[in-house]
Amino acid sequence: MIKINNREKSVSIIGLGYVGLPLVQLFLEKNYYVYGIDIDYSKIEKLIQRKSYLSDFTDKDITKLFETGRFMIGTNYDLIKHVNTIIITVPTPLDHENNPNLTALKHSINSSIPYLKKGQLIIIESSTYPGTTEEEIKPVLEKKGFKIGEDLFLVYSPERIDPGQKEYKLQDVPKIIGGITNRCTDKGVKLYETIFNQVVPVSSAKVAEMTKMVENTQRLINISLMNEMLALSDKMNINIWEVIEAASTKPYGFTPYYPGPGIGGHCIPIDPLYLLWKARQSSIDLQLISVSKQVNDNMPMYLINRLIKILPNNKPLNLVKILVIGITYKKNINDVRESPALLFMEKLLSMDVKVDYHDPYVNQITIQDKKLFSIELNKEAINSHDCTVILTDHQNIPYQNIVDYSPMIFDTRNATKGFTNKGNVFLL
Ligand SMILES: NC(=O)c1ccc[n+]([C@@H]2O[C@H](COP(=O)([O-])OP(=O)(O)OC[C@H]3O[C@@H](n4cnc5c(N)ncnc54)[C@H](O)[C@@H]3O)[C@@H](O)[C@H]2O)c1
Protein backbone atom coordinates (compact mmCIF):
# COMPACT_ATOMS: atom_id res chain seq x y z
CA MET A 1 0.00 0.00 0.00
CA ILE A 2 1.19 3.53 -0.83
CA LYS A 3 1.79 5.63 2.27
CA ILE A 4 -0.15 8.90 2.26
CA ASN A 5 2.52 11.44 3.24
CA ASN A 6 0.25 14.46 3.24
CA ARG A 7 -3.17 13.89 4.72
CA GLU A 8 -4.20 17.44 3.81
CA LYS A 9 -3.82 16.47 0.17
CA SER A 10 -5.68 13.16 0.12
CA VAL A 11 -9.08 12.25 -1.27
CA SER A 12 -11.09 9.15 -1.85
CA ILE A 13 -13.25 9.01 -4.95
CA ILE A 14 -16.10 6.51 -4.78
CA GLY A 15 -17.35 5.38 -8.21
CA LEU A 16 -14.74 5.30 -10.98
CA GLY A 17 -16.93 5.88 -14.04
CA TYR A 18 -17.41 8.69 -16.54
CA VAL A 19 -17.47 11.23 -13.69
CA GLY A 20 -15.15 9.67 -11.11
CA LEU A 21 -12.14 8.77 -13.22
CA PRO A 22 -11.61 12.23 -14.79
CA LEU A 23 -11.83 13.65 -11.26
CA VAL A 24 -9.17 11.17 -10.11
CA GLN A 25 -6.95 12.38 -12.96
CA LEU A 26 -7.42 16.02 -12.04
CA PHE A 27 -6.67 15.48 -8.33
CA LEU A 28 -3.51 13.54 -9.24
CA GLU A 29 -2.42 16.37 -11.54
CA LYS A 30 -2.77 18.70 -8.56
CA ASN A 31 -0.47 16.46 -6.48
CA TYR A 32 -3.12 14.82 -4.31
CA TYR A 33 -3.06 11.26 -3.05
CA VAL A 34 -6.15 9.53 -4.43
CA TYR A 35 -7.82 6.37 -3.24
CA GLY A 36 -10.34 5.20 -5.85
CA ILE A 37 -13.12 2.83 -4.85
CA ASP A 38 -15.51 0.95 -7.12
CA ILE A 39 -17.71 -2.04 -6.32
CA ASP A 40 -17.37 -3.27 -9.90
CA TYR A 41 -14.39 -5.57 -9.65
CA SER A 42 -14.08 -5.83 -13.45
CA LYS A 43 -13.24 -2.10 -13.53
CA ILE A 44 -10.68 -2.42 -10.74
CA GLU A 45 -9.13 -5.37 -12.57
CA LYS A 46 -8.89 -3.38 -15.81
CA LEU A 47 -7.22 -0.51 -13.98
CA ILE A 48 -4.75 -2.93 -12.39
CA GLN A 49 -3.94 -4.18 -15.89
CA ARG A 50 -3.57 -0.52 -17.00
CA LYS A 51 -6.51 -0.91 -19.39
CA SER A 52 -9.06 1.79 -20.03
CA TYR A 53 -12.83 1.26 -20.11
CA LEU A 54 -13.68 4.88 -20.97
CA SER A 55 -13.41 6.47 -24.42
CA ASP A 56 -11.85 9.63 -22.96
CA PHE A 57 -8.91 7.61 -21.53
CA THR A 58 -6.25 5.66 -23.40
CA ASP A 59 -4.42 2.76 -21.74
CA LYS A 60 -1.43 5.12 -21.55
CA ASP A 61 -3.52 7.65 -19.62
CA ILE A 62 -4.35 4.92 -17.10
CA THR A 63 -0.68 3.98 -16.76
CA LYS A 64 0.15 7.64 -16.11
CA LEU A 65 -2.32 7.77 -13.21
CA PHE A 66 -0.39 5.01 -11.46
CA GLU A 67 3.01 6.45 -12.40
CA THR A 68 2.30 9.37 -10.07
CA GLY A 69 2.85 6.93 -7.18
CA ARG A 70 -0.14 8.54 -5.47
CA PHE A 71 -3.03 6.47 -6.88
CA MET A 72 -4.48 3.46 -5.08
CA ILE A 73 -7.61 1.53 -5.98
CA GLY A 74 -9.83 -1.13 -4.52
CA THR A 75 -13.32 -2.35 -3.81
CA ASN A 76 -12.83 -1.94 -0.08
CA TYR A 77 -13.84 1.20 1.78
CA ASP A 78 -11.43 0.83 4.72
CA LEU A 79 -8.74 3.12 3.28
CA ILE A 80 -11.01 6.13 3.52
CA LYS A 81 -9.97 6.45 7.15
CA HIS A 82 -6.65 7.82 5.87
CA VAL A 83 -8.03 10.57 3.62
CA ASN A 84 -9.27 14.08 4.29
CA THR A 85 -12.11 14.15 1.76
CA ILE A 86 -14.55 11.58 0.38
CA ILE A 87 -16.13 12.35 -2.99
CA ILE A 88 -19.09 10.31 -4.17
CA THR A 89 -19.68 9.85 -7.90
CA VAL A 90 -21.90 6.76 -8.04
CA PRO A 91 -24.91 6.31 -10.39
CA THR A 92 -28.32 7.76 -9.58
CA PRO A 93 -30.61 5.91 -12.01
CA LEU A 94 -34.39 5.44 -12.04
CA ASP A 95 -36.23 2.48 -10.62
CA HIS A 96 -38.70 0.42 -12.65
CA GLU A 97 -41.43 3.01 -11.97
CA ASN A 98 -39.27 5.91 -13.20
CA ASN A 99 -38.72 7.15 -9.64
CA PRO A 100 -35.31 8.04 -8.11
CA ASN A 101 -33.18 5.09 -7.17
CA LEU A 102 -30.67 6.23 -4.55
CA THR A 103 -29.46 2.71 -3.70
CA ALA A 104 -25.87 3.28 -4.87
CA LEU A 105 -25.64 6.65 -3.13
CA LYS A 106 -26.97 5.27 0.16
CA HIS A 107 -24.80 2.18 -0.17
CA SER A 108 -21.68 4.31 -0.58
CA ILE A 109 -22.55 6.37 2.52
CA ASN A 110 -23.38 3.30 4.61
CA SER A 111 -20.17 1.57 3.50
CA SER A 112 -18.16 4.67 4.43
CA ILE A 113 -19.64 5.10 7.90
CA PRO A 114 -17.49 2.52 9.77
CA TYR A 115 -14.34 4.30 8.58
CA LEU A 116 -15.34 7.96 8.88
CA LYS A 117 -13.17 10.17 11.07
CA LYS A 118 -13.93 13.53 12.66
CA GLY A 119 -12.92 16.47 10.48
CA GLN A 120 -13.53 14.73 7.16
CA LEU A 121 -15.36 16.40 4.31
CA ILE A 122 -17.92 14.44 2.26
CA ILE A 123 -18.80 15.76 -1.19
CA ILE A 124 -21.70 14.31 -3.14
CA GLU A 125 -21.42 14.81 -6.91
CA SER A 126 -24.03 12.37 -8.25
CA SER A 127 -26.98 14.14 -9.87
CA THR A 128 -30.05 14.10 -7.68
CA TYR A 129 -33.20 15.99 -6.69
CA PRO A 130 -33.04 19.01 -4.36
CA GLY A 131 -33.18 17.92 -0.75
CA THR A 132 -31.32 14.61 -1.11
CA THR A 133 -28.22 15.63 0.83
CA GLU A 134 -30.19 17.23 3.63
CA GLU A 135 -33.06 14.75 3.86
CA GLU A 136 -31.46 11.44 2.92
CA ILE A 137 -27.74 11.68 3.73
CA LYS A 138 -27.43 14.07 6.67
CA PRO A 139 -29.80 12.09 8.99
CA VAL A 140 -27.91 8.85 8.35
CA LEU A 141 -24.64 10.47 9.41
CA GLU A 142 -26.22 12.21 12.38
CA LYS A 143 -27.67 8.93 13.56
CA LYS A 144 -24.12 7.66 13.85
CA GLY A 145 -23.30 10.52 16.19
CA PHE A 146 -21.65 12.97 13.80
CA LYS A 147 -22.50 16.66 14.11
CA ILE A 148 -22.64 18.01 10.56
CA GLY A 149 -20.78 21.31 10.29
CA GLU A 150 -18.82 20.63 13.48
CA ASP A 151 -17.08 17.29 13.30
CA LEU A 152 -18.07 16.15 9.81
CA PHE A 153 -18.62 18.38 6.80
CA LEU A 154 -21.16 17.63 4.09
CA VAL A 155 -21.59 19.40 0.76
CA TYR A 156 -23.25 18.84 -2.57
CA SER A 157 -21.32 19.81 -5.70
CA PRO A 158 -22.90 18.77 -9.01
CA GLU A 159 -20.67 17.24 -11.64
CA ARG A 160 -20.99 19.11 -14.94
CA ILE A 161 -18.62 17.04 -17.08
CA ASP A 162 -19.41 16.52 -20.76
CA PRO A 163 -17.69 13.27 -21.80
CA GLY A 164 -16.32 13.21 -25.34
CA GLN A 165 -16.03 16.98 -25.55
CA LYS A 166 -12.55 18.47 -25.74
CA GLU A 167 -13.24 22.21 -25.78
CA TYR A 168 -13.60 22.72 -22.03
CA LYS A 169 -11.24 21.01 -19.63
CA LEU A 170 -12.75 19.71 -16.40
CA GLN A 171 -10.94 22.35 -14.30
CA ASP A 172 -12.27 25.15 -16.53
CA VAL A 173 -15.92 24.39 -15.79
CA PRO A 174 -17.00 26.45 -12.75
CA LYS A 175 -17.74 24.28 -9.73
CA ILE A 176 -20.97 24.87 -7.82
CA ILE A 177 -20.73 24.14 -4.08
CA GLY A 178 -23.53 24.15 -1.53
CA GLY A 179 -23.00 22.89 2.01
CA ILE A 180 -25.36 21.81 4.76
CA THR A 181 -23.88 24.63 6.89
CA ASN A 182 -21.69 27.62 6.00
CA ARG A 183 -18.67 25.87 7.50
CA CYS A 184 -19.35 22.90 5.23
CA THR A 185 -19.50 25.18 2.19
CA ASP A 186 -16.27 26.91 3.25
CA LYS A 187 -14.50 23.54 3.53
CA GLY A 188 -15.74 22.53 0.08
CA VAL A 189 -14.70 25.85 -1.44
CA LYS A 190 -11.25 25.64 0.14
CA LEU A 191 -10.66 22.20 -1.35
CA TYR A 192 -12.06 22.89 -4.80
CA GLU A 193 -10.19 26.20 -5.12
CA THR A 194 -7.06 24.04 -5.31
CA ILE A 195 -8.53 22.01 -8.19
CA PHE A 196 -10.90 24.14 -10.26
CA ASN A 197 -10.27 27.55 -11.80
CA GLN A 198 -13.54 28.94 -10.51
CA VAL A 199 -15.76 27.85 -7.65
CA VAL A 200 -19.28 29.14 -7.20
CA PRO A 201 -20.50 28.83 -3.61
CA VAL A 202 -24.28 28.83 -3.23
CA SER A 203 -26.40 29.22 -0.11
CA SER A 204 -27.32 25.56 0.45
CA ALA A 205 -26.92 21.99 -0.75
CA LYS A 206 -30.49 22.22 -2.03
CA VAL A 207 -29.64 25.17 -4.30
CA ALA A 208 -26.65 23.27 -5.68
CA GLU A 209 -28.83 20.20 -6.34
CA MET A 210 -31.55 22.28 -7.97
CA THR A 211 -28.97 24.03 -10.17
CA LYS A 212 -28.00 20.72 -11.74
CA MET A 213 -31.65 19.71 -12.19
CA VAL A 214 -32.46 23.02 -13.90
CA GLU A 215 -29.45 22.76 -16.24
CA ASN A 216 -30.44 19.32 -17.44
CA THR A 217 -34.17 19.95 -17.50
CA GLN A 218 -33.77 22.95 -19.80
CA ARG A 219 -31.87 20.72 -22.22
CA LEU A 220 -34.55 18.01 -22.19
CA ILE A 221 -37.34 20.52 -22.76
CA ASN A 222 -35.58 22.52 -25.46
CA ILE A 223 -34.35 19.53 -27.44
CA SER A 224 -37.84 18.01 -27.22
CA LEU A 225 -39.26 21.34 -28.40
CA MET A 226 -37.00 21.19 -31.45
CA ASN A 227 -38.15 17.63 -32.09
CA GLU A 228 -41.75 18.88 -32.11
CA MET A 229 -40.78 21.73 -34.46
CA LEU A 230 -39.10 19.12 -36.62
CA ALA A 231 -42.30 17.10 -36.98
CA LEU A 232 -44.23 20.19 -38.05
CA SER A 233 -41.47 21.39 -40.38
CA ASP A 234 -41.37 18.01 -42.08
CA LYS A 235 -45.12 18.12 -42.74
CA MET A 236 -44.77 21.64 -44.16
CA ASN A 237 -41.71 20.81 -46.21
CA ILE A 238 -39.47 23.18 -44.26
CA ASN A 239 -35.86 22.35 -43.45
CA ILE A 240 -35.68 22.71 -39.64
CA TRP A 241 -31.87 22.74 -39.69
CA GLU A 242 -31.92 25.78 -41.97
CA VAL A 243 -34.48 27.42 -39.66
CA ILE A 244 -32.29 26.93 -36.58
CA GLU A 245 -29.25 28.25 -38.45
CA ALA A 246 -31.22 31.33 -39.48
CA ALA A 247 -32.62 31.87 -35.95
CA SER A 248 -29.11 31.56 -34.53
CA THR A 249 -28.06 34.73 -36.34
CA LYS A 250 -30.07 36.66 -33.73
CA PRO A 251 -27.39 37.99 -31.39
CA TYR A 252 -29.57 37.74 -28.26
CA GLY A 253 -32.50 35.79 -26.87
CA PHE A 254 -32.14 32.63 -28.96
CA THR A 255 -30.06 29.61 -27.96
CA PRO A 256 -29.82 26.91 -30.61
CA TYR A 257 -30.90 23.39 -29.69
CA TYR A 258 -31.06 20.69 -32.33
CA PRO A 259 -33.49 17.92 -33.13
CA GLY A 260 -32.20 14.37 -33.27
CA PRO A 261 -33.05 10.71 -32.78
CA GLY A 262 -33.87 11.26 -29.10
CA ILE A 263 -31.97 12.12 -25.94
CA GLY A 264 -30.03 9.36 -24.21
CA GLY A 265 -27.38 8.96 -21.54
CA HIS A 266 -27.63 8.86 -17.80
CA CYS A 267 -28.32 12.55 -17.26
CA ILE A 268 -30.67 14.51 -19.52
CA PRO A 269 -33.49 11.94 -19.80
CA ILE A 270 -33.19 10.93 -16.13
CA ASP A 271 -32.48 13.96 -13.94
CA PRO A 272 -35.71 15.81 -14.88
CA LEU A 273 -37.65 12.76 -13.69
CA TYR A 274 -35.94 13.09 -10.30
CA LEU A 275 -37.26 16.64 -10.21
CA LEU A 276 -40.71 15.59 -11.37
CA TRP A 277 -40.88 13.04 -8.54
CA LYS A 278 -39.75 15.57 -5.95
CA ALA A 279 -42.16 18.24 -7.23
CA ARG A 280 -45.09 15.86 -6.79
CA GLN A 281 -44.36 15.79 -3.05
CA SER A 282 -45.17 19.51 -3.05
CA SER A 283 -48.26 18.89 -5.23
CA ILE A 284 -46.57 20.61 -8.14
CA ASP A 285 -47.02 18.97 -11.50
CA LEU A 286 -44.08 19.79 -13.77
CA GLN A 287 -46.05 19.33 -16.96
CA LEU A 288 -43.33 20.44 -19.36
CA ILE A 289 -41.09 17.64 -18.13
CA SER A 290 -43.82 15.01 -18.63
CA VAL A 291 -44.62 16.24 -22.13
CA SER A 292 -40.96 16.50 -23.10
CA LYS A 293 -40.34 12.96 -21.88
CA GLN A 294 -43.24 11.78 -24.01
CA VAL A 295 -41.88 13.58 -27.09
CA ASN A 296 -38.46 12.08 -26.41
CA ASP A 297 -39.78 8.56 -25.88
CA ASN A 298 -41.65 8.75 -29.20
CA MET A 299 -38.57 9.67 -31.23
CA PRO A 300 -37.37 6.16 -32.17
CA MET A 301 -40.86 5.33 -33.54
CA TYR A 302 -41.02 8.69 -35.29
CA LEU A 303 -37.69 7.86 -36.97
CA ILE A 304 -38.99 4.47 -38.09
CA ASN A 305 -42.06 6.07 -39.68
CA ARG A 306 -39.94 8.65 -41.46
CA LEU A 307 -37.54 5.94 -42.62
CA ILE A 308 -40.33 3.78 -44.01
CA LYS A 309 -41.61 6.76 -46.00
CA ILE A 310 -38.30 7.31 -47.77
CA LEU A 311 -37.49 3.64 -48.43
CA PRO A 312 -38.38 2.31 -51.91
CA ASN A 313 -42.03 1.28 -51.40
CA ASN A 314 -41.81 -1.71 -53.71
CA LYS A 315 -39.42 -3.57 -51.43
CA PRO A 316 -40.86 -5.76 -48.64
CA LEU A 317 -39.41 -4.78 -45.24
CA ASN A 318 -37.94 -8.24 -44.67
CA LEU A 319 -35.70 -7.69 -47.68
CA VAL A 320 -34.56 -4.21 -46.63
CA LYS A 321 -31.02 -3.81 -45.29
CA ILE A 322 -30.27 -0.85 -43.02
CA LEU A 323 -26.85 0.32 -41.96
CA VAL A 324 -26.85 2.36 -38.74
CA ILE A 325 -23.96 4.75 -38.13
CA GLY A 326 -23.29 5.47 -34.48
CA ILE A 327 -25.18 3.77 -31.67
CA THR A 328 -23.94 5.70 -28.62
CA TYR A 329 -26.24 8.32 -27.12
CA LYS A 330 -23.94 11.11 -28.23
CA LYS A 331 -20.83 11.61 -30.31
CA ASN A 332 -17.24 10.63 -29.55
CA ILE A 333 -17.91 8.45 -26.50
CA ASN A 334 -18.56 4.75 -25.87
CA ASP A 335 -21.66 5.17 -23.68
CA VAL A 336 -24.84 3.45 -24.94
CA ARG A 337 -26.92 3.95 -21.80
CA GLU A 338 -30.48 5.01 -22.75
CA SER A 339 -29.31 5.46 -26.34
CA PRO A 340 -32.25 5.90 -28.73
CA ALA A 341 -30.27 3.91 -31.30
CA LEU A 342 -30.89 0.73 -29.35
CA LEU A 343 -34.66 1.17 -29.40
CA PHE A 344 -34.58 2.16 -33.07
CA MET A 345 -32.62 -0.96 -33.99
CA GLU A 346 -34.79 -3.15 -31.78
CA LYS A 347 -37.94 -1.90 -33.52
CA LEU A 348 -36.42 -2.48 -36.96
CA LEU A 349 -35.34 -6.01 -36.03
CA SER A 350 -38.82 -6.79 -34.72
CA MET A 351 -40.12 -5.78 -38.17
CA ASP A 352 -37.74 -8.34 -39.75
CA VAL A 353 -35.58 -5.63 -41.28
CA LYS A 354 -31.92 -6.63 -41.60
CA VAL A 355 -29.85 -4.25 -39.46
CA ASP A 356 -26.09 -3.77 -39.34
CA TYR A 357 -24.22 -1.03 -37.56
CA HIS A 358 -20.90 0.73 -37.52
CA ASP A 359 -19.61 2.49 -34.41
CA PRO A 360 -15.90 3.06 -33.84
CA TYR A 361 -16.55 3.17 -30.07
CA VAL A 362 -18.72 0.05 -29.62
CA ASN A 363 -17.49 -3.29 -31.01
CA GLN A 364 -20.54 -5.29 -30.15
CA ILE A 365 -24.05 -4.91 -28.77
CA THR A 366 -26.82 -7.31 -27.83
CA ILE A 367 -30.32 -6.38 -29.00
CA GLN A 368 -33.27 -8.71 -28.48
CA ASP A 369 -30.83 -11.49 -27.51
CA LYS A 370 -29.13 -10.97 -30.86
CA LYS A 371 -25.42 -10.19 -30.85
CA LEU A 372 -24.48 -7.53 -33.41
CA PHE A 373 -20.90 -6.54 -34.24
CA SER A 374 -19.73 -3.21 -35.62
CA ILE A 375 -19.01 -3.80 -39.32
CA GLU A 376 -16.13 -2.35 -41.29
CA LEU A 377 -17.14 0.74 -43.22
CA ASN A 378 -15.84 -0.05 -46.71
CA LYS A 379 -17.37 0.79 -50.09
CA GLU A 380 -19.00 -2.61 -50.50
CA ALA A 381 -20.57 -2.61 -47.03
CA ILE A 382 -21.98 0.88 -47.49
CA ASN A 383 -23.25 0.15 -50.97
CA SER A 384 -24.89 -3.15 -50.11
CA HIS A 385 -27.38 -1.56 -47.67
CA ASP A 386 -30.57 0.06 -48.95
CA CYS A 387 -30.21 2.97 -46.57
CA THR A 388 -27.58 4.31 -44.18
CA VAL A 389 -29.10 5.91 -41.08
CA ILE A 390 -26.81 8.32 -39.25
CA LEU A 391 -27.87 8.30 -35.61
CA THR A 392 -24.70 9.53 -33.90
CA ASP A 393 -22.39 12.02 -35.58
CA HIS A 394 -19.02 10.76 -34.33
CA GLN A 395 -16.13 12.86 -35.63
CA ASN A 396 -14.07 10.01 -37.08
CA ILE A 397 -16.61 8.71 -39.61
CA PRO A 398 -15.88 9.00 -43.36
CA TYR A 399 -19.07 10.91 -44.19
CA GLN A 400 -18.02 11.66 -47.77
CA ASN A 401 -17.65 7.90 -48.44
CA ILE A 402 -21.10 7.31 -47.00
CA VAL A 403 -22.58 10.01 -49.21
CA ASP A 404 -20.68 8.68 -52.25
CA TYR A 405 -21.42 4.97 -51.86
CA SER A 406 -24.74 4.69 -50.05
CA PRO A 407 -27.86 4.44 -52.24
CA MET A 408 -29.74 6.50 -49.67
CA ILE A 409 -28.90 8.26 -46.40
CA PHE A 410 -31.26 9.19 -43.58
CA ASP A 411 -29.28 11.76 -41.61
CA THR A 412 -30.76 12.47 -38.18
CA ARG A 413 -27.90 14.77 -37.07
CA ASN A 414 -27.18 16.95 -40.08
CA ALA A 415 -23.77 15.23 -40.12
CA THR A 416 -23.56 15.30 -43.93
CA LYS A 417 -23.78 19.08 -44.00
CA GLY A 418 -20.96 20.41 -46.16
CA PHE A 419 -20.40 17.10 -47.99
CA THR A 420 -21.35 16.96 -51.65
CA ASN A 421 -24.19 14.60 -52.34
CA LYS A 422 -26.20 13.28 -55.25
CA GLY A 423 -29.56 14.12 -53.78
CA ASN A 424 -29.45 10.85 -51.85
CA VAL A 425 -29.45 12.49 -48.40
CA PHE A 426 -32.73 12.77 -46.49
CA LEU A 427 -32.43 14.99 -43.45
CA LEU A 428 -34.46 14.32 -40.33
N1 LIG B 1 -21.80 10.67 -17.42
C2 LIG B 1 -22.03 11.98 -17.44
O3 LIG B 1 -21.92 12.65 -18.47
C4 LIG B 1 -22.42 12.71 -16.17
C5 LIG B 1 -22.30 14.10 -16.14
C6 LIG B 1 -22.65 14.77 -14.98
C7 LIG B 1 -23.15 14.06 -13.88
N8 LIG B 1 -23.30 12.70 -13.96
C9 LIG B 1 -23.82 12.02 -12.78
O10 LIG B 1 -22.72 11.44 -12.07
C11 LIG B 1 -23.09 10.20 -11.47
C12 LIG B 1 -22.18 9.10 -11.98
O13 LIG B 1 -22.37 8.99 -13.38
P14 LIG B 1 -21.35 8.19 -14.30
O15 LIG B 1 -21.75 8.48 -15.70
O16 LIG B 1 -19.93 8.44 -13.87
O17 LIG B 1 -21.74 6.69 -13.93
P18 LIG B 1 -20.85 5.38 -14.21
O19 LIG B 1 -21.78 4.25 -14.17
O20 LIG B 1 -19.98 5.60 -15.39
O21 LIG B 1 -19.89 5.33 -12.94
C22 LIG B 1 -20.35 5.09 -11.63
C23 LIG B 1 -19.46 4.04 -10.98
O24 LIG B 1 -19.89 3.86 -9.63
C25 LIG B 1 -19.72 2.49 -9.29
N26 LIG B 1 -20.55 2.20 -8.14
C27 LIG B 1 -21.89 1.95 -8.09
N28 LIG B 1 -22.28 1.76 -6.81
C29 LIG B 1 -21.17 1.89 -6.04
C30 LIG B 1 -20.93 1.82 -4.66
N31 LIG B 1 -21.91 1.61 -3.79
N32 LIG B 1 -19.65 1.96 -4.20
C33 LIG B 1 -18.64 2.19 -5.08
N34 LIG B 1 -18.82 2.29 -6.41
C35 LIG B 1 -20.06 2.15 -6.88
C36 LIG B 1 -20.12 1.75 -10.55
O37 LIG B 1 -19.58 0.46 -10.59
C38 LIG B 1 -19.52 2.66 -11.65
O39 LIG B 1 -18.21 2.27 -12.03
C40 LIG B 1 -24.57 10.01 -11.82
O41 LIG B 1 -25.34 10.55 -10.78
C42 LIG B 1 -24.74 10.84 -13.07
O43 LIG B 1 -26.07 11.28 -13.24
C44 LIG B 1 -22.91 12.02 -15.06
At the fourth CATH level, the homologous superfamily of domain 7-203 is NAD(P)-binding Rossmann-like Domain (3.40.50.720)
Nearest atom in ligand 1 to 75's CA: 33
> How many angstroms does the Cα of residue 86 sit away from the middle of ligand 1?
15
Cα(165) to centroid of ligand 1, in Å?
A: 18
Shortest-distance Cα residue to atom 21 of ligand 1: 17
Q: Give the pLDDT confidence of 300-353 residue by residue, as tens digits.
A: 999 999 999 999 877 889 999 999 999 999 999 999 999 999 999 999 999 999
Q: CATH: 3.90.1150.10, 3.90.480.20, 2.60.40.10, 3.40.50.720. Which one for 240-427?
A: 3.40.50.720
Ligand 1 atom 37, closest CA: 40
Pocket test for ligand 1, best of 16, 37, 38 (most atoms within 8 A of CB): 38
Question: Matching CATH topology for 7-203 and 240-427?
Answer: yes
Domain ranges for the chain: 7-203, 240-427
Residue owning the nearest CA to atom 5 of ligand 1? 161
Mean pLDDT of 11-19: 97
Provide the annotated active-site residues.
Answer: 267
Instruction: Evaluate if residue 292 carries a pLDDT over 90.
Output: yes
209 lines ligand 1 (CB under 6 A): no
Q: What mean pLDDT do residues 377-401 have?
A: 96
Span 166-186, mean pLDDT? 96
Percentage of the residues of the chain whose pLDDT score is greater than 90: 93
Helix/strand/coil (H/E/C) assignment for every residue in the chain? CCCCCCHHHEEEEECCCCCHHHHHHHHHHCCCEEEEECCCHHHHHHHHCCCCCCCCCCHHHHHHHHHCCCEEEECCCHHHHHCCEEEECCCCCECCCCCECCHHHHHHHHHHHHHCCCCCEEEECCCCCCCHHHHHHHHHHHHCCCCECCCEEEEECCCCCCCCCCCCCHHHCCEEEEECCHHHHHHHHHHHCCCCCCEEECCCHHHHHHHHHHHHHHHHHHHHHHHHHHHHHHHCCCCHHHHHHHHCCCCCCCCCCCCCCCCCCCCCCCHHHHHHHHHHHCCCCCHHHHHHHHHHHHHHHHHHHHHHHHCCCCCCHHHCEEEEECCCCCCCCCCCCCCHHHHHHHHHHHCCCEEEEECCCCCEEEECCEEEEECCCCHHHHHCCCEEEECCCCCCCCHHHHHHHCCCEEECCCCCCCCCCCCCEEEC
Q: Does residue 159 line the site of ligand 1, with CB under 6 A?
A: yes
pLDDT of residue 314: 77
The pTM (predicted TM-score) of the whole model is: 0.94
How many whole angstroms from 34 Cα to the centroid of ligand 1?
17
CB 15 near ligand 1, within 6 Å: yes
